[in-house]
Amino acid sequence: MTRLLFLTGPGGAGTTTLAAATALRAAASGHRVLLLGVADAGELAAVLGASGVSGDGNVLDIDDPDDGLDGLHDRDDRDGSDGPDGPDKALAAALANLTVRRFDPAAATENALVGLARLLSGPLAAAGLSAPDATELGPVPGLPDILALREIAEAVASAEWDAVVVDGPPLKAALSMLAWPETASAALRRLRPIEGQAARALRPLLAGLVGLPSPFVMVTQWTENASAEIAAVRTALAHPGSLVRIVGTPSAAAQPLLQATPTLLALHGLRADLTTLADVARTGAEPLGVAALAALGAAVYADGDPVPGLADPPEPAVAPDGDGYRYDLPLPGVERDQLGLVRSGDELVVTVDVPGVTVHRRAFPLPAALRRCRIASARIADGVLRVGFKPDENLWPERFLTDHSEDAQTGDS
């Protein structure tokens, strides 16, 4: 299983430096590592140093480790530390396991818009309209984040690497990016019933228009493709080998968001690590180049493996509770006044509002049994939101209600 390690932190906390040091340390441990900069405007290349990067700054592949160590060879020759088992050989071995890439949001967005224009061209041409040029569609808010997540998911699914280390955007932007799969899934769940009803109502009319492509066919195909891509991204972010590692900072202004981060990540079903990089010693000189980054990685991780171990991500659980059910949602660190809870049809909508910082919301589709129940209680205990459900007499047959109550009392499921 390819492990995913997504690093983020408040602006200026040194996320790029620590992402590079983490990737080098993992590569030195024998893992095949992809270091992917998704919010990189050249910082990753600068941190690694010109001697540590080959390529044109867009795809940063270190194919020949000796080419990346010229400066290090010169230094070691002067101090006599170079040798067959010296730092050159260790760094060369690490670099041989490391691939560095920069996600280009501008190029990815342009390609996506070209694909969208091509998708629209058929139906529009049939209606006597011309498809817009990709350059006319303009920037689409949030699209670069979506494409970056797709890039991450494809890297994880490729099995080409043992670990994918992501140099993510600043913390607040990263939280919004990581929330996107659940937000998009909720939107598609609402779109699909409308799409299906409209298609059924207009099918007789559309059948008579020979040769005219149905817009609903296009919408259906688009939603199916979107659902598949969302599922792939969700699988990459929320599988047991994925972890969001937070870079700490002593800045007082960043503390409210840092404190809320475990709650927000758990809301979206993501594992968080706020301890490993919380108190990395800050020095006057920024580590630059592969040698300095390797030393930083060794100091931070010591004998530990920087690649995350396997653990289940935080997700809701349903359990029998007396004559009803209990829906448990892990939300570590949540405060009562930050929490909003609303039932909307067959979904439970949970909102975490950190005043003056951020608001996150997730709609949880209720299991079939809970859809026939009403909410009877809600409380927070030990970092878990516990929502009690009682069978709704209007939705459950009376005989089944009696049997269900007896089963619950005897402990049968």
**Domain layout of the chain by residue ranges:** 3-301, 317-410
At 46 the pLDDT is: 81
The CATH T-level fold of domain 317-410 is: Immunoglobulin-like (2.60.40)
Model pTM?
A: 0.81
Token pair of 14 as six digits: 């040194």
DSSP track, 320-355:
EETTEEEEEEE-TT--GGGEEEEEETTEEEEEEEET
What's the longest Cα–Cα distance across the chain?
Answer: 88
Residues contacting 371, CB < 8 A, separation 6+? 346, 395
Q: Are 331 and 272 in contact (CB under 8 A)?
A: no
CA proximity to 34, closest of 23, 42, 44: 23
The CATH T-level fold of domain 3-301 is: Rossmann fold (3.40.50)
At 413 the pLDDT is: 39
At 108 the pLDDT is: 79
User: H or E element: which one contains 221?
Assistant: helix 215-238
At 102 the pLDDT is: 84
Token pair of 72 as six digits: 């290090």
Instruction: Give pLDDT tens digits along the chain (413 positions).
Output: 899 999 999 988 899 999 999 999 999 999 999 999 987 767 888 888 754 444 444 444 444 444 444 433 333 443 444 444 556 788 888 888 988 888 888 777 777 777 766 666 666 555 556 666 666 666 666 788 888 999 999 999 998 999 999 999 999 999 999 999 888 887 777 766 544 554 454 445 444 444 444 555 555 666 677 778 888 999 999 999 999 999 999 889 999 999 999 999 999 999 999 999 998 877 667 888 888 899 999 999 998 999 999 999 999 999 999 889 999 999 999 989 999 999 998 999 999 999 889 999 999 999 988 998 999 999 999 999 999 999 987 766 555 445 544 444 444 43
